Amino acid sequence: MLYDQLDALRRYAQNRLSTVLLQTGGTPQARSERESFTNLYNDDIAKYDAAENGLCFGRIDLSPDDDTPVRYVGRVGILDEAHDYETLLLDWRAPMARPFYLATPAAPDDVLRRRHIRTRSRRVTSLADEYLDLAAAREAGLNSDATGVAGESALLSALDAARTGHMNDIVETIQSEQDTIIRSEHRSVLVVQGGPGTGKTAVALHRAAYLLYTYRQQLAKSGVLIIGPNATFLDYIGQVLPSLGETGVLLSTIGNLYPGVRATLDESPTAAQVKGSTAMVGILAKAVRDRQEVPTAPKKLRFDTYEITLDRKLVTRARGRARSSRRPHNLARPLFVASAVEGLAQQLADRLGQNVIDGGSLLSRDDIADMRDEMKEDADVMAAIDELWPDLSPQQVLRDLFASPERIAAAAPELTESERASLLRRSRGFSSADSPLLDELAELLGIDDAAEREQANRQWRNQIADAQGALDILTGSAPQDLEDELDPEILMAYDLVDASQLASRQDSGVKLTTAERAAGDRTWTYGHVIVDEAQELSDMAWRMVMRRVPNRWMTLVGDVAQTGDPAGTTSWSEVLEPYVAQRWKRTELTVNYRTPSEIMKVARDVLAAIDPVQTVPRSVRDSGQVPWAQHTTGDELVATVQDRLAEHPRPGISAVLAPHALVESMAHLRSDVVTVSTVKDAKGLEFDSVLIVEPMDIVDESPRGMGDLYVALTRATQRMGVVHTRPLPAELSALEPFDALVP
């Protein structure tokens, strides 16, 4: 019955969409309504398609005295239209579905039994029951876990399943501490601190789905932005929200958040640290001011047949007038141009218009105004003025700055010589650390959209002219004798609309979703922003993010013990208090669902070296696999890694995590089931098996290398091994020698 209703809902949405798409023309209001309905039905179809897999995954049996003693829980809500819209399936986000996640034997919340339902396509493959009535459970000889891990059999089954290369949702196995965070009503910044494997990312994505469900009207217009650490991560999580019925969320990295720019370059640790510091605010401001030049020597120009001079005094006065407006560079430029042209025109007027009889001027104000207008059309005059105060783009300023040792030295005298050298770059591309700098420059430069506005106005005037022409043709095409015979009360088309109204009815073209419009608009402000691996963001990146969420309603998930970026943070308060003071709330996830206890025993020593105060998240399972270390020679390193990969069971996904210098030498090991990358590119991901290569090099290649090692150790869900030629860090002493494990 559930799938019959789902099919009916899908057919209804498809039929309504077809009807809407067949409609054309109409008033602006009608076109707007069609666009809204098109988006609505497209979203509905996508939601129903995504819900097909695992539509119903749970059931709760409550006390017989309850109004609805049996409730089925699934990905979307479904009503039975044939029986007074009785609820057949509860959306997992609905308040009535909460007991499915929160009930425990210690606090059953009237739930007698919880059933986990697993399906494949439209067929039930397994059932797992939990009795939350302790007496009934004991009578049935069943064990019910009162430790807070609900649905143990379903949870462990999901955790033990082989990875597929894409993240699965956890909607079937959300735990109590996760559910509390997902449904939090905190309306400022919510920080979710959690160690590896605690489900931070899953919680963040399910929170996005929950907020869109609960605050649909508000967030559908403003959108939700999710920021991840790298493109691989975004691809990894890309299927989760659609599977939960949400398709209108923008996913981006910091490097790709600035419209039109894709981060393709890597940075040295020194450059990343410098670019991430708020010292760059002053450096960029100085770089922009340095483009507002004053000539060192007078510059002679020819205007008509006369000579005029751009001298230091004239330009200084024009620059002062523009700067005193306190407008951004490009928006202040018209003031500079106007002042410079005024000075040149007055200079020429004084030279040409002196009256030898009374000392007055032969030139009127209108003559001088005409002279100014002619100068603004003179290519040589304007080129000279443009050199002194050019119209700039953020990309142009940043490229010019980093390509010139002289510009860097002038803008950043406070940096050390090595820091300035780290910024020097000849490539025209950009890195992830550059994106916040471009955003800062956009604020400093401003956007002079006068030309775009004029183009839009010109286009509108042309549309009105075309519409008027159509009306004129329609008017002229009616024979005079026919018009004479018509009843004067009968209205013609030209009696009903004028040219402006007709022009406004022209279709404006391609309709974009909220996420698509937001992605192309740097000034777009979101209703909610979620940042995963938030500890990796630099101070400059936080400035960029905060511009996009002026209401400061955010969810940040991360682990300060895993900070690897040289410009990242180890303190949530230091990051947030400049923006929200004390209006932020810290929550914590304490249970490790991903990493087996055997691996966490090794990772515990690394965590203690990073921060002895940090609590190790409690693993819910053992894998039976002992983490090991194998020493080899440099010549045999790649071959040894290849041999160990060959031993990993299938199915499953394996990862080789290596220092940057070694990744390319092992690139040939990549396949559909094997990935080879740096630790940075594996942030937020998980694999069945992990091989860590040269851990000492991983530690040495970054100022926060120990954090990178901690990340590498905690990516595996089943097996983890280390291959090395250099001595191991002392923190890995708990690893067993590989040779001792070989039978």
Q: What's the pLDDT score for residue 341? A: 94
- At residue 356 the predicted structure's pLDDT band, cuts being 50, 70 and 90, is very low
In 3-state terms, the chain is what percent helix, strand and coil (to 5)?
Answer: 50, 15, 35
Q: How many whole angstroms separate alpha carbon 369 and alpha carbon 375?
A: 10
Among 585, 533, 595, 596, smallest CA distance to 559 is for 533
Cα–Cα distances (Å) from 418 to 400, 414, 566, in that order, read: 19, 12, 16
pLDDT of amino acid 620: 85
| Average pLDDT for 89-112 | 81
Write down the pLDDT at residue 366.
Answer: 84
pLDDT of res. 27: 64
| Of the candidate ranges 13-27, 312-326, 477-491, 713-727, the one whose mean pLDDT is the lowest | 477-491
Rounded Cα distance between 270 and 288, Å, is 23
3-state secondary structure 304-325: CCEEEEECHHHHHHHHHHHHHC
If you average pLDDT over residues 509-524, what whole number do you get?
A: 80
Q: What is the DSSP string of 624-639?
A: S---EEEE--TTTHHH
Average pLDDT, the chain: 84
Confidence category of residue 62, pLDDT binned at 50, 70, 90:
confident
Contacts of 357 (CB under 8 A, 6+ apart): none
Does 378 have pLDDT greater than 70? yes
Mean per-residue pLDDT, 641-649: 91
Query: In the prediction, which pLDDT does 148 show?
Result: 41
**Residue 281 to residue 285: CA distance in whole angstroms:** 6
- pLDDT at residue 150 in the model: 47
pLDDT bracket for residue 106 (50, 70, 90): low
> What value does the mean pLDDT take over residues 198-218?
88
Conformational region of residue 25, where left means phi above 0, alpha means psi within -120 to 50, and beta covers everything else: left
249-253 and 591-592 strand pairing: unpaired
Task: Determine the Cα–Cα distance for residues 660 and 266; give it in Å rounded to an integer.
Answer: 11
Tell me what pLDDT residue 355 has: 42
Segment 419-438 shows an average pLDDT of 94
Q: Count Cα atoms within 13 angstroms, Cβ side, for 178.
A: 28
The tens digit of pLDDT for each residue in 691-732 reads: 999 999 999 998 889 999 999 999 999 999 999 999 999 999
Q: Mean pLDDT over residues 274-283, rounded?
A: 97
The pLDDT value recorded for residue 403 is 96
- Measure the CA–CA gap between 13 and 191, rounded to whole angstroms: 38
What percentage of residues in the chain have a pLDDT greater than 90? 48
**CB of 724 within 8 A of CB of 291?**
no
- Of 437, 142, 450, 185, nearest to 287 by C-alpha is 437
- pLDDT at 651 exceeding the cut of 50: yes
Which pLDDT score is estimated for 5? 72
Tell which phi-psi region holds residue 224, choosing left (phi > 0), alpha (psi between -120 and 50) or beta.
beta
- Measured between alpha carbons, how far is residue 145 from residues 107, 116, 177, 584, 667 in Å? 12, 15, 15, 33, 45
Instruction: Label residue 688 by pLDDT band (50, 70, 90).
Output: very high
Q: Can you give the pTM of this predicted structure?
A: 0.77
What's the whole-number mean pLDDT along residues 132-151?
A: 54
The mean per-residue pLDDT over the stretch 186-207 comes to: 91
* Measured CA distances, 538 to 263, 281, 544, 574 (Å): 16, 13, 10, 12
